Amino acid sequence: MNKLLDLIYISLVFYLLLPFFINFTEKYEVNESTIKVLFLVIILFLEILFYSSSKLIFKNKINVTKMIDMTLQNSLFYLLGYSLFIDYSEEIIQFTESNFGSSFVTFSTIGMIIAPQIGYTIIRSFLKPY
């Protein structure tokens, strides 16, 4: 699975679905642990959808155990990013609005959520022998 395509795909999904997700959780007053489980399930489903569709497009065989391993790992990294964003959301939003304007708040949110996955990918590429 191409990590760059995965990051573009998940960033686009976050850009489109994150406002609905935040409004849903605020509207129904869901507690934090339920929000995180819901976020993990949604991202896990989207990652499985991306992995299986990319394997079908490139006509590769789908390995179910590898698919579950990779999608669960990616989903947990995005959950880590979401948890970090929730913990530091006020500071991130205040910093972004004061330095870049209110139109970049969504991009900083997406950047914070996908940052652990980007960091993992960079570290893994340095450790890979060529």
**CA 112/CA 105 separation, integer angstroms:** 11
Answer yes or no: is pLDDT of 1 > 60.
no
Contact between 94 and 130 under an 8 Å Cβ cutoff? The reply is no
Q: Domain segments of the chain: what residues?
A: 3-127
In terms of phi and psi (left: phi > 0; alpha: psi -120 to 50; beta: otherwise), the region of 29 is: left
Q: How many CA atoms lie within 13 A of 54 on its CB side?
A: 16
pLDDT at 55 (0 to 100): 86
Q: How many CA atoms lie within 13 A of 6 on its CB side?
A: 25
The closest of 41, 35, 94, 30 to 71, measured between CA atoms, is 41
pLDDT in tens, 2-49: 788 888 999 999 999 988 888 888 888 888 889 899 999 999 999 999
